[in-house]
Every structure is written in structure tokens, then in C-alpha cells.
Amino acid sequence: MKPMKRTKSPRVFFASTLLAMTVAAGVSAGVSSAGASAKVNITVAYAVDTTFDTTALANKWWGALQKEFEAKYPNVTLTLDPIHGGEPDFLTKLALQFKQSNPPDVIQFPSTEIALYQSSGYLAAMDSYLSGSGMSWFSQFPPVIQNEGKIGSHTYAVSAGENNNGLYYDKAVLQKAGIKLPWQPKTWADIITAAKAIKKAEPKVIPLWTDAGTSAGPAGAEYGILNLLAGSDNPSIQTASGKYVVSSKGLLETLNFYHQVFSQGLGAPTSQLFSANNAPNIPSADFAKGTLGIAVAANFIGGNWTKQVSFPYWPQASTAMGIAGIPKINGGGYASVLSGWDFGISSKTKAMTAAQNLVNMMQEPTNMIEAANWAGWVPPVKSYWNNPLYANFDAPFAKEFGQLLPWSTELPSSANFTVWVQGLEQVSGTLAQTPSTTGSAAMAAMKSYVTNQLGSSSVTSLP
């Protein structure tokens, strides 16, 4: 072994000096960048995979918006923050971002989260800006949609687009089953009758698609079971005092309907219903293949058949398919729940004007309509419905869903809603997987789960 010097290794000295210099450089860089630039920077966060029909379309819309915005406001940089994953993951990630001291300035998020975010103090009140001139789009929202973002006396979010729901049916399948077209069931019993007829005439076709199971999160329920509940004899989900309903005539009727569907083999297989691959989109694929008769589904399904979305591309969709409103249980009208995506501005933003300008730009006719086309929304501004850009986008049935919009009702917006929906979807999944389960057994299981999770002071039973 070669002899070693007693002196400290020069390399150690060099390394530690280098380290110190790097740290100093890093610190000073951080300090200097804070005050140096006069340019304003705002960040907008959104769900890139589950808002628009495809991720590619989302990137297209946001990319074009970024260019337009930065061109109009040259002293502002717009940073895009696309959050990946399904809706539950997006919600988690967004919440994590807001825990930090520098959350995104503008967000696009589901309407069911508004109350939650507002109660944490995350959202800025938008009233003063919305009542200003140049914001004519807001005054054209139907009142129910204006109130979507209203908590107390202030508005904290504005709708970007709405989803409502209806019944899709394959004309050829129904014809073969001897059902008269155009089909518009008046009661839930009519739906069952039609499904039974389909099953008899065409055993290889799934008669009726209704969502079940927890894999799609709250969104699955919003495009499925909640629409039936909305048409039942007691559609109440949350009482005025904020308690969640865990037992009611309406819930029982809904769960009994599910029992009827699945115990008679009229529903879709669990492999599709429980699919992690975003089950709500599956009906569009099945219809195109001719393997589905009727579906309770959202308005964006139509857009899936356009060339732009191609899930799959089915040009004959507008003639091969028909739309009906989801009837109330014993007739007397239609039912649907309204769910949508909204824009909000962070209360901690340091660039309020720029943020407001961004929201304003996103709500301009071209931008809003393109978003509606590519995300399968109904634009909340009524006058846009007749805009050729919206009417001519070859998404079938946009007009029909617009007509069904007045029948739609809002959903509660609170943290406990997620838990309540989880309880509901757990039992809908059980009904699908174990068809011998009765509606009352399912409701009892849901009551027990939700009460257990939320505590008995937060739930209530209605007649």
C-alpha cells in the first residue's frame, strides 16, 4: 500500500468549496428571479385526460388557447398545468396543489367540488368582475347554471360546459324487438318492457346499459344511477340542513329498478361496468358494434362518434341511433342530473386581472363552443346553441340534449357527497354482480355504510 500523506486531501477541500458555491448560486438565483422580471405569469390547472373526449383534443384546445392568450396579452405568460389520470386522481392531485402556498391561478374543475373548495377559502369571489361590462356571457346563463357556482351571496365559479343525460337507443335493435319508433318511454316500467323485448328478440345484444360499481368514481353515478334517482318519487339526496339521505322511497325505487334489470339479465356484464378504462365511454363502442340496445348515458356519447373523437368513428350514428328523455318513474316528465365543469380563480392569485382575462377569453363563443364540441358539453350560454359552429359540428343529438336541459337538476356539492356516492355505487355494483340481491337489502347496506362513514348526525332517513 502506498504511503499516505497526513495532509487533508485537497480533493475534499475542492469538493466542499464547489458545493458551497453551488448552494450560494442557487440561493441567489432564487432571490434574484423573484424581483427581476416585469412579466406576469399565471398557471391554469385542468384534467387533461377526463375533461375532453380525448387527451389529444384537450391538448389541442389548451394549446390554441395559450397561443391566443399570450398573443393578446404579451406581458403575461400562461403556464399550462395538465393533470393526468381519471377524475378521482385529478381531484386528489388538485387538492394537493392547493395545499401549497402557490396554487394554480385558474382552475377548471367539476361543479361538485365548488362548495368544498370555497369552504377552504381557495376560491376568489367573482361577482365584481362578472357584473362588469364585456361579461355578457354570464348573464345569458340559465339561472340554474348561474347558481351552480353561487354559495351564499357570492359567485365563486362559472360554468364552462354542462353534461346532462338521456336514453340512447339503437333503432335497428328496437325494430327487431318489435318496438315502435320513435321510442319515448313514459315510465320506468316501459323501459323494462322494452329491455325484455330486446332480450327475447336478440339474445346476443345487451338490452340496457346502466352504470354500476365504483370504478368510475362519482362521474359514473352522475351519468347513470343518479338520473334515475332524480326521476323517482323522492329524488332527495341532501336535505336543506345538509344531512345526506340514506333511506327513502326514491332510493328504494331506484335500487329496485336495478334489481329488476340485473335479476332478469337485462343489464351489461360486470366486466364492462367495472372496467377501470373509463366505463362511461363504453356504450359508444358497443352501440357502434350493434351489441347494445338502450343506454342511460350522458350527452357526450354522441360526440364520441365524430371523426375528431373517433371512439369509434360512426358516421351513421345520427340516423342509426335515437334519443329519448329518461322518464320519471310513473310518468309526468323527464329527469336528468346536471353535472359540469367550471372555471374558478384562486383566492391566492397574484395576477387577478390576468386571471380574469383568461376566464373571459375561455368563455368567448369560439372557445366555449369548441370546448363544448370536443368535450361533449352543452354550452351554458343559450345563444350559442344556434351558433353554426355548435350546430354544424357533426355531433349527433346536441340539439336534443339541449332541449332536455330544462329538466335537469343540480347535484349537491360537499365533501360528504363523495362518500355518499361511494355507498350508492357499492350497492349498485353488488346488484350487478349478485343479481339475487333485493333492492331493500341493497338500501340497507348503503345506509349502514354511509352512516358508518359519515356518522349518524350527518345522515337521515326519509319516508
Partner 1 sequence: MSAPVLPPAAPVEREMPPENTSTQRTRWRSAGTHLTLTAFGILFLVPMLWLLLASVDANASWGLEWPHLSLVNFRNVLTGSLFHALWNSVVLSVVSTAIASITGVFAAYALSRRRIPFKTSLLMFILFSSGVPLAIMVIPVYEMFSRYNLLTIVPTAIFLSVTSLPFEVYLMKNFIDAVPGDLEEAARIEGASTFQVLRQVIVPNAMPGIAAASIFGFVNSWGSLVVPLILISPTDQQPAPIEIYTFLTLPKPEYGNIAAYSLVFCVPVFLLYAVSSRLFREGFVLGGGVKG
Partner 2 sequence: MTVSTINADTVTGPDLAQLWKTRRDRERFQWSSLALMTPAFGLLAVLFLVPMGYAVYLGLTNLTLVGPDSVKWGFTGMANLIRLHQDTTFWTSLWVTAGFIGGSIVGVVVAGYWLASLLMRARPWMRVVVGGIVVVSWMMPAVTAGMTWYASTTQGGALGTLTGLHGTNFLDNWPLIVVTMANVWSMTGFSMLVMGAALRNVPSEAIEAAIVENASAWQRFRMIVLPLLRPTMIAVVLLTALLSLANFGLIYIMTQGGPGNATNILPLYSYQQAFSFNNLAYGALIGNVMVVIATVFGIFYVRVASPKS
CB of 285 to partner 1, least distance (A): 9
**Nearest Cα residue to 428 out of 286, 215, 264, 205:** 215
- 96, 184, 217, 439 from 211: Cα distances, Å: 29, 20, 11, 16
Q: Tell whether residue 120 is a contact of partner 2 (CB under 8 A).
A: yes
Segment contacting partner 2 by CB under 8 A, of 112-120, 202-210, 302-310, 359-367: 112-120
Segment contacting partner 1 by CB under 8 A, of 2-10, 22-30, 325-333, 444-452: 2-10
- Distance, in Å, from the CA atom of 156 to the CA atom of 422, rounded to the nearest integer, reads 26
170 sits in which H/E element: strand 165-170
Q: Could you say which of 215, 339, 373, 458 contacts partner 2 (CB under 8 A)? A: 215
- Half-sphere exposure for 450 (CA within 13 Å, toward CB): 31
Q: Tell whether residue 207 is a contact of partner 2 (CB under 8 A).
A: no
Q: Tell whether residue 260 is a contact of partner 1 (CB under 8 A).
A: no
- 28, 71, 215 from 349: Cα distances, Å: 25, 22, 34
Segment contacting partner 1 by CB under 8 A, of 143-151, 257-265, 270-278, 414-422: 270-278
Q: Could you say which of 37, 41, 102, 386 contacts partner 1 (CB under 8 A)? A: 102
DSSP designation for 229: H
Q: Tell whether residue 92 is a contact of partner 2 (CB under 8 A).
A: yes
- Distance, in Å, from the CA atom of 100 to the CA atom of 415, rounded to the nearest integer, reads 20
In the list partner 2, partner 1, none, the entry touching 430 (Cβ below 5 to 8 angstroms by class) is: partner 2
- Distance, in Å, from the CA atom of 296 to the CA atom of 299, rounded to the nearest integer, reads 10
Q: Tell whether residue 101 is a contact of partner 1 (CB under 8 A).
A: yes
Is there a contact between 421 and 215 (Cβ–Cβ < 8 Å)?
no
- Distance, in Å, from the CA atom of 443 to the CA atom of 236, rounded to the nearest integer, reads 15
Give the relative orientation of helices 439-454 and 249-263 as an angle to the nearest 10 degrees. 130
> 64 in the Ramachandran plot: left (φ > 0), alpha (ψ -120 to 50) or beta?
alpha
In the list partner 1, partner 2, none, the entry touching 419 (Cβ below 5 to 8 angstroms by class) is: partner 2
CA dihedral for 39, 43, 48, 50, sign (positive or negative): negative
- Distance, in Å, from the CA atom of 422 to the CA atom of 377, rounded to the nearest integer, reads 25
In the list partner 1, partner 2, none, the entry touching 8 (Cβ below 5 to 8 angstroms by class) is: partner 1
**Interface map 233-272 toward partner 2 (x if CB under 8 A):** ------------------------------------xxx-
Q: Tell whether residue 43 is a contact of partner 2 (CB under 8 A).
A: no
Cβ proximity to partner 1, 85 vs 142, nearer residue: 85
In the list partner 1, partner 2, none, the entry touching 84 (Cβ below 5 to 8 angstroms by class) is: partner 1
Q: Tell whether residue 121 is a contact of partner 2 (CB under 8 A).
A: yes
Q: Tell whether residue 119 is a contact of partner 2 (CB under 8 A).
A: yes
Give the relative orientation of helices 365-375 and 55-72 as an angle to the nearest 10 degrees. 170
Residue owning grid cell 354500476: 212
- Half-sphere exposure for 68 (CA within 13 Å, toward CB): 15
Q: Tell whether residue 34 is a contact of partner 1 (CB under 8 A).
A: no
CB of 31 to partner 1, least distance (A): 16
CB of 328 to partner 1, least distance (A): 30
Q: Tell whether residue 53 is a contact of partner 1 (CB under 8 A).
A: yes
Segment contacting partner 1 by CB under 8 A, of 206-214, 272-280, 347-355, 424-432: 272-280
Q: What angle do CA 412, 415, 421 make, to 5 degrees?
A: 65
**Nearest Cα residue to 421 out of 269, 282, 259, 222:** 222
Q: Could you say which of 66, 77, 89, 189 contacts partner 1 (CB under 8 A)? A: 89
State whether residue 105 is helix, strand or coil.
coil
Q: Tell whether residue 77 is a contact of partner 1 (CB under 8 A).
A: no
Q: Tell whether residue 101 is a contact of partner 2 (CB under 8 A).
A: no
Q: Which residues bind partner 1 (CB under 8 A)?
A: 1, 3-6, 8-9, 12, 49-50, 53-55, 81-86, 89, 93, 96-97, 99-102, 276-278, 280-281, 311
Binding interface with partner 2 (CB under 8 A): 88, 91-92, 95-96, 98-99, 113, 116-117, 119-122, 213-215, 269-271, 274-276, 415, 418-419, 422, 426, 429-430, 433, 448-449, 452-453, 455
